[in-house]
Amino acid sequence: MTIEAICVLRDNKSNIQGKITFTQESEDAAVNVSAHLTGLAPGKHGFHIHEYGDNSNGCLSAGAHYNPHKKTHGCPTSLDRHVGDLGNIVADAEGVATLHHKDEHNLLKLIGPYSVIGRTIVVHKDEDDLGTGANEDSLKTGNAGDRLACGVIGISNPAK
């Protein structure tokens, strides 16, 4: 049974918008993430799943990075990281960014008790240092800076 999820990003204060899709074949399978965003400043931007699907106060009410296993912040290819650590998304000179990522460590889930469905994806202003900075914020947030745009992950409509 394949599960598909989608997150539509829009920000009323800027031109940032886009779509992130997730697929998982079974509870034990890796999740594939694909993203296409526009309206970003050129360069790297931190890209994370946050703990709440609450955007009532913009991206601020989404909480911290989704971290049910109480790990420190890290890169998306590391086993020792927050579940929500997706690393950076890189925008080209026109502000367009694409990402294709497979969670090889199977920390990211659409099925089961640690599902990310109903949580928020946030795009940050700055580059994520992947937990390698020499300060406390690096181990929590990757020093990724302000929250630019966000959206809630939901189950995809199979009839799309």
Averaged confidence pLDDT in the chain = 94
Residues 33 and 7 sit within 8 Å (Cβ to Cβ):
no
Is the pLDDT at 159 greater than 90? The verdict is no
Q: What is the DSSP letter of 61?
A: G
**Mean pLDDT, residues 64-82 taken together:** 92
Question: Which numeric CATH code is attached to 3-155?
Answer: 2.60.40.200
Residue 52's CB is within 10 A of a number of other CB atoms, namely 15
The mean pLDDT of 97-120, rounded to a whole number, is: 94
Per-residue pLDDT band at 134 (split at 50, 70, 90): confident
Q: How high is the pLDDT of residue 13?
A: 80
Domain layout of the chain by residue ranges:
3-155
Segment 60-87 mean pLDDT: 93
Q: Which amino acid is at 92?
A: D
What CA–CA distance (Å, rounded) separates 156 from 21?
9
- pLDDT higher than 70, residue 110: yes
**Per-residue model confidence (pLDDT) at position 127:** 97
Q: What is the pLDDT of residue 160?
A: 65
Q: Kindly list the catalytic residues.
A: 48, 50, 65, 73, 82, 85, 124, 147
Count CB-CB contacts under 10 A for residue 9: 24
Between the alpha carbon of residue 100 and those of residues 11, 20, 59, 87, 138, the distances in Å are 22, 10, 23, 12, 24
Query: What are the φ/ψ torsions at residue 60 (nearest 5 degrees)?
Result: -65, -35
Instruction: Report the alpha-carbon angle 143-14-89, nearest 5.
Output: 45
